[in-house]
Amino acid sequence: MNVAITCLEQQIFRNACWAWMFYVSTIYGQDFAVTPSEEIEVLQPAATETVPIVGSDETTALCPASEMVSSKDLSWSVGYDRGFFLRGVQNNDSFELKTNMRLQFRFVSFSRNADSWTDSAGVVLPIRDRQYFDIERARLVFSGHAFSPKLTYQSQFDFDTDSRHVASLLDGWVAWEYRDKRRVHFGKRKVPGSRNWILGAFDTRMVDRPISNEFFRPSRTTGIWFTGDPDPSFRYEFMIGQGYNTEGLTPQELGNNFATAGSIYRDVLGSYGPLRPTDFEYHDELAVRLGMSAVASIEGTPGRQLEETDFLRLTDGTRITEPNALAPGATVEGFHVYLFAVDAAYKYRGWSANAEYFVRSIQNLVSNIPVPAVGLQHGFYTEGGFFIVPKRFELNSQYSFVTGDQGSANSYATGFSYYPRGMPFLKLSMDGTYIDGSPVNSTATNILVGDKGFLFRCQWQALF
C-alpha cells in the first residue's frame, strides 16, 4: 500500500543516526578507511630517490639548498615511493602530491546455455554470447596532504571501455584529523556496506567480485564519513550520505532523504594484516578477522519516480521500479532499504579463506497501486585459496548464492593468480565461472542480468 513518509519520521531517523555515529567516533581511533594509501597498499615500498628543487616566492629557478637564506623559501623534492611524488615545505607548512596509475586489461568470453530469460513483469529478454577485450579499470589517482599532514585528500579518475570510453570522477574527498587517530571526510567515496565492496578492486581473490556482493552492495555517494582505527586489529567507518547508490546522478535525480552506513572489523586471533583476502604475506601464525556492515536508506520521493531507485532488483533480476514488476499496472516509486552483512576471514601459511553473508529488507513500498511485499533477500559467498609457490602462484575457488521470493541464483568459479615479480602490484589472473542465472547487471564483473552459462576471464593488472 502507499505509505507516506512524515517529516517527524525523517527527523527522528536522521538524529538517531547522527548520535550513533558521533558516539562511536569519539570512542574509537584513527582513520583506516580509503585514505590516499589504502588502495595502493599492495605496492611494496621502493627505494625512494628524491631530487631537491629549491626556489623563493618570486622564482622557480633551480638552485642548491645552501643558497636558502630566508624563512620564506620553499623547498621541493620529487621522486618515487609507491607512486610519483612532489613534496614541499614552506615555513611551518608542508605539501605532498602523489600520482598513481592502475590498469586492468581483460579478455572475456561468455557462452550461454539458454536463449532467453523472463522477468517478473513477464518480459522475455535475450541472453547473448559475448567475446571481447576490455579495459575494465584505468585509473589515475592524485593524493597527498596540504598545509599539514592532518589535512589529506584524494581524487580518483576512472576510465573503462564498458562506460562508453568516458572518464569520470570516481572518488574525491578531503579529510581532517580533528583529533588524534580520528578523521572526518567530506566528499564522494564508497558507502561502507560490505567487506568485499570496501576491498579495493585490485585486491580481489578472483578476477572480480562475486555475484552476491554485486547484487547486495551499495555504491558510491556524496556525504560525510567518520573513520578510525585505535590499533591495527580494529577498524570502523561510519557515514551519512546522499543515498544507497547515487553514482553518476545529479541532485535533481535524488530524493530528499539521506542514507546512513557503517562497517567495523576486529582481528580476534593474530594479526590479519592488509584487507586483501589472500595470504600473500605468508602468516606463520593463524590470523582470524570478523566484521559486520550495515546500511539504511530511504529511496525516492512519493509522486516522483527518481533515478536513485533504479538500482534495486528482485532476486530474479527484475528492477523493482519496472512497471508490473510486483503487480499488474503497478510502478514502485520509493521504498526503505536495509542491508546487514557479517563477514569472516583467515590467513595461515599461504592458505586463506573468506566469506560474507547478506540479508536485505525492502519496506514501506510507495507505488501507484497496492503491491505485495518483496520479502527478505538473502545471499552469501565463500572463497578460498592457497599459494603453491609463495608470493608467485596461487589457486583459488569461489561459490556465490542469492535467494528470495522471486527466485534463486548460483555461481561457481575457480582459477589462479600469477605474480611474475613476486610482488602484488603486477598480477596475471585467469578464472572460469559457471552462472546459473544472474540477478544482477554488473559490467564490472562482465556478468549481465539473466546470464546462464560459462564465463571465462583472463586479466593482467598493474599498479604503479
Q: Label residue 272 by pLDDT band (50, 70, 90).
A: very high
Query: Are the CB atoms for 55 and 69 separated by under 8 Å?
Result: no
pLDDT, position 48: 46
Query: Which residue, chain included where needed, has cell 532476486?
Result: 315
pLDDT at 127: 98
Instruction: Give me the pLDDT at residue 74, please.
Output: 67
The single-letter DSSP state of residue 311 is T
The pLDDT-based confidence of 281 (bands split at 50, 70, 90) is very high
Cell, residue 299:
529511496
For residues 405 and 362, give the distance between their C-alpha atoms in angstroms, rounded to a whole number. 12
The domain limits of the chain are 7-60+72-463
Note the pTM of the prediction, 2 decimals: 0.84
Secondary structure tally for the chain: helices H, strands E? 3, 20
- Tell me the CA end-to-end span of the chain in Å, nearest whole number: 53
The answer to whether residues 99 and 155 touch, using CB atoms and an 8 Å cutoff, is: no
pLDDT digits (tens, 9 = 90+) for 78-91: 999 989 999 998 87
Cα–Cα distances in angstroms (integers) from residue 36 to residues 142, 164, 223, in the given order: 8, 27, 18
Which residue from 423, 398, 413, 100 is spatially nearest to 277, judged by alpha carbons?
Answer: 398
Q: pLDDT tens across 34-89, in order?
A: 333 334 333 444 444 444 444 433 333 333 444 443 445 568 899 999 899 999 98
- Helix (H) or strand (E) segment spanning residue 266: strand 259-269
Average pLDDT over residues 378-407: 98
Q: 7-60+72-463 in CATH: which number?
A: 2.40.160.10
pLDDT single digits (tens) 352-383:
999 999 999 999 999 999 999 999 999 999 99
**pLDDT tens by residue, 131-160:** 999 999 999 999 999 999 999 999 999 999
| CA 158 to centroid of chain Cα atoms | 13
Residue 21: pLDDT over 60: no
